Amino acid sequence: MFFYIIVGLVIIQRLVELVIAKKNEKKSLAAGGIEYDKKGYSGIVIMHVMFFISLFAEYFYFEHTLNKFWIIFLFLFIAAQGLRYWAIISLGNLWNTRIIIVPGSKLVKSGPYKYFKHPNYMAVVTELAVLPLIFSCFFTAIVFSAVNLLLLKRRITIEENALEELS
């Protein structure tokens, strides 16, 4: 039951975030925002969908149970959520799930951006690693952490180049 509650809440959270991201995306594009890496975005979406499919499949197929260190992993997951929402709130209407740069907008250097260059990505890396570990789903944790790091390496390079180009 705990699995259903936690993973269900995360899925609902992601769906709500997509609604907020879409609203912010429209505002940014209406303000003259330029989108970068449209094709790469679909890879990220596919990876996140496959992550949840893998998590469910591994948990049920291999009949996993809570990890004996689950409370530590849950704490790390909650901490990542805090960092993520601090980043989202700090970006305000500029936050979305795509790379959209509004010319003339200033680089956000408040909130977690005062301390880290990419706090939202740090949170996602942590979430994709520790959520499966709560339930002893090691395959999902390892495979999707590796895929996510590859996708983020590419995405961060594109995002940094876009920010530099427009600054």
Domain boundaries, the chain: 2-166
Q: Which tens digit of pLDDT belongs to each residue from 55-112?
A: 999 999 999 999 999 999 999 999 999 999 999 999 999 999 999 999 988 899 999 9
Residues in contact with 64: Cβ distance below 8 Å, sequence separation at least 6, in sequence order: 58, 135, 136, 137
Residue 167 pLDDT > 70: no
Dist CA 23 CA 115 (whole Å): 27
1.10.10.10, 1.20.1370.20, 3.90.550.10, 1.20.120.1630: CATH of 2-166: 1.20.120.1630
Angle at 133 (CA atoms; ends 131, 139), nearest 5 degrees: 105
Answer yes or no: are the C-beta atoms of 99 and 35 closer than 8 Å.
yes
| 3-state secondary structure labels for all residues of 98-152 | CEEECCCCCCCCCHHHHCCCCHHHHHHHHHHHHHHHHCCCHHHHHHHHHHHHHHH
Dist CA 1 CA 145 (whole Å): 25
Q: Which range (38-42, 77-81, 147-151) has the least confidence?
A: 38-42
pTM confidence score = 0.94
